[in-house]
Amino acid sequence: MAEAPVAEVGVFGGSGFYRFLDDVTEVTVETPHGPTSAPVAIGRVGERRVAFIPRHGAHHELPPHLLPYRANVWALHALGVTNVFGPCASGSLQPHVAPGSFVVPDQLVDRTSGRADTFFDGPTVHHVAFADPYDHDLRQVALAACRAEGVEVHDGGTVVVVQGPRFSTRAESRWYGGQGWEVINMTQHPEAVLCREAGLRYAAIALITDFDAGLEGSGVPAVTQEEVFAFFEANVDTVRRVLFRALAAPLPTGRLEAGPGF
């Protein structure tokens, strides 16, 4: 691990974001878990150094169930990052959470399977506390950035993480919404828990791109990949503005307690 931080804050997100950082350099970080989704882009927002990794690769070539989550998180830790923002496109499970709004979730339900979702496969065993999946203080920064940009934002909410790459059936979607959960996504797990194991503070910023197919009484058609991508592209400037404001704000200091070896 670097003796001095190469970057103080990290971002997992879409491939368009890093082009707007100043003086970007790309670095390849070797990890015990293989290569990252793409080389890490290092740039500045004001005086703050930011490390950016496009989750799905530079050309969106990696599906959500095959992302190298452990490598991505390990690389940010190795670069000295303390705080991590995870902007993500997500669907709504509730009528009051409309497309175009943002959710800064405070809870997570994992419905994935077969993903490498821990750094502790043995012989070292570590049981991470995960009752509150998202860092409270970093969430406040994300919420303040959304409000300052004048976007509709929901403070808190549960994101259910599905395996993908397929979207949910109407029956699955109705069940998720019936539990009272607000957001559906494919990448928040294990990204959030791996950050916690590594002692990194993590907050998600979910842009709602669509109503999920099972929303009762909505009459929504089945969501398609093309519609989600188009909606996100149409709103990417808003996402960038929110992120840049959050990245320039005062951030929590000090990492969380990490598992053995970090």
Does the pLDDT of residue 15 top 60, yes or no? Answer: no
Q: What is the pLDDT of residues 121-149, one digit of tens each?
A: 999 999 999 999 999 999 999 999 999 99
Average pLDDT over residues 95-115: 96
Question: Which one-letter amino acid corresponds to residue 71?
Answer: A
Check pLDDT > 70 for residue 17: no
Each as own residue / partner, the long-range contacts of residues 240-245 (CB below 8 Å, 24 or more positions apart, any chain) are 240/16, 240/17, 240/20, 241/149, 242/87, 242/102, 242/142, 242/145, 242/146, 242/149, 242/151, 242/205, 243/11, 243/13, 243/17, 243/85, 243/87, 243/145, 243/205, 244/20, 244/45, 245/145, 245/148, 245/149
The percent of residues above 90 in pLDDT, for the chain, comes to: 78
Q: What is the reported pLDDT for 162?
A: 97
Structural domain boundaries of the chain? 9-248
* pLDDT grade for 1, boundaries at 50, 70 and 90: very low
pTM of the model: 0.93
pLDDT, one tens digit per residue, over 198-241 is 999 999 999 998 899 877 555 666 667 777 777 767 777 888 89
Catalytic, 212? Answer yes
Percent of the chain residues topping a pLDDT of 70? 92
Picking from 18-32, 113-127, 246-260, which range would have the lowest pLDDT averaged per residue?
A: 18-32
Average pLDDT over all residues of the chain: 91
Quick check: 2 pLDDT over 60?
A: no
Catalytic residue among 23, 121, 210, 237: 210
Indicate if the pLDDT at residue 100 is higher than 60.
yes
237 an active-site residue? no
Q: Does domain 9-248 have CATH number 1.20.210.10?
A: no
| Cα radius of gyration rounded to whole Å, the chain | 17
Higher pLDDT, 222 or 55: 55
pLDDT at 119 over 60: yes
Q: Which residue is catalytic, options 23, 110, 212, 237?
A: 212
